[in-house]
Amino acid sequence: MKELKIGFLQQHNTADVRGNILRLAEGVADLARRGAELIVLQELHNSLYFCQVEDVNNFDLAEPIPGPSTQMFGELSHQYGVVIVTSLFERRAPGLYHNTAVVIERDGTIAGMYRKMHIPDDPAYYEKFYFTPGDLGFKPIDTSVGRLGVMVCWDQWYPEAARLMALRGAELLIYPTAIGYALSDEPDEQQRQRRAWQTVQRGHAVANGLPVVTVNRVGFEPDPSGQTGGIQFWGTSFVAGPQGELFYEASEDEEESIIVSIDMEHSEQVRRWWPFLRDRRIDDYAEITKRYID
């Protein structure tokens, strides 16, 4: 058994960026002291989810990579000897921005980064206004705790993305996330959406024989424009095993700081029982790259 202790912070953010970051730093330190080896943070964890509106002033929240956040989290990684998965608003160049996950190694260096590939554009999720689609592909990041298949939020709905990470040797699929309820939806519809969100990711775990770690934010954030009722982020951060089994599911409405232990060697056995990669018909999948087949 190759045990990996995964910690995550499900946090409610406020408009106080410095306060958010200080609470994240305290949370990382606490998880590390409790034995976490890998710590995963939620999507765009430094601020409110600013994509509810299209406002050019929000580009002021972006920062370069390397930059202040990677330095701060690098210092924490080095101090406590943990790998941290961060999620940042990257300023790559004037007028060029990405939604970027950065993995920090135990020694404080940047192990690798992933730029969000699938960019939504829906009411209250106006991400195409802010983020250029990623150009780094679906490539796992090698770390001292394993090869991490890190993606971001909207990527989690796409089986192609998870599969490509698996085919490149990812040992774990990780999704920093920011998703919640539209308050105009009926309660039954809200729950269907939340469960569909979790189910599709557990399906990626099963189809690829890999554990999945998803960390969402929690709490209510108002729409500054007043055009919608804001977003009630549904939390429900979770860790699933390679057969889709739930090791832990967080609350819908409370902050949590959790450590979950998983057996990184179990995927090997699961893939022997269910050899999906062996039986793929790679000779007949060429049309998957088309937008639609008439």
Domain boundaries, given as residue ranges, for the chain = 3-280
Sign, CA dihedral 280-101-13-259, equals positive
pLDDT per residue over 52-95, tens digit each?
A: 999 999 999 999 999 999 999 999 999 999 999 999 999 999 99
Whether the per-residue pLDDT at 1 is higher than 90: the answer is no
Residues 101-119 have a mean pLDDT of 98
Distance of CA 172 to CAs 73, 102, 150, 262, 289, Å? 21, 15, 8, 10, 25
Note if 43 is an active site residue.
Answer: yes
| CA nearest neighbour of 20 among 49, 60, 55, 56 | 49
Catalytic residue among 43, 90, 127, 171: 43
Among candidate residues 37, 51, 153, 221, the one labeled active-site is: 153
116 is a catalytic site residue: yes
Spell out the CATH class of 3-280: alpha beta
Which tens digit of pLDDT belongs to each residue from 129-156? 999 999 999 999 999 999 999 999 999 9
Q: Would residue 5 show up in a list of annotated catalytic residues for this protein?
A: no
Which of these is catalytic: 116, 127, 171, 221?
Answer: 116
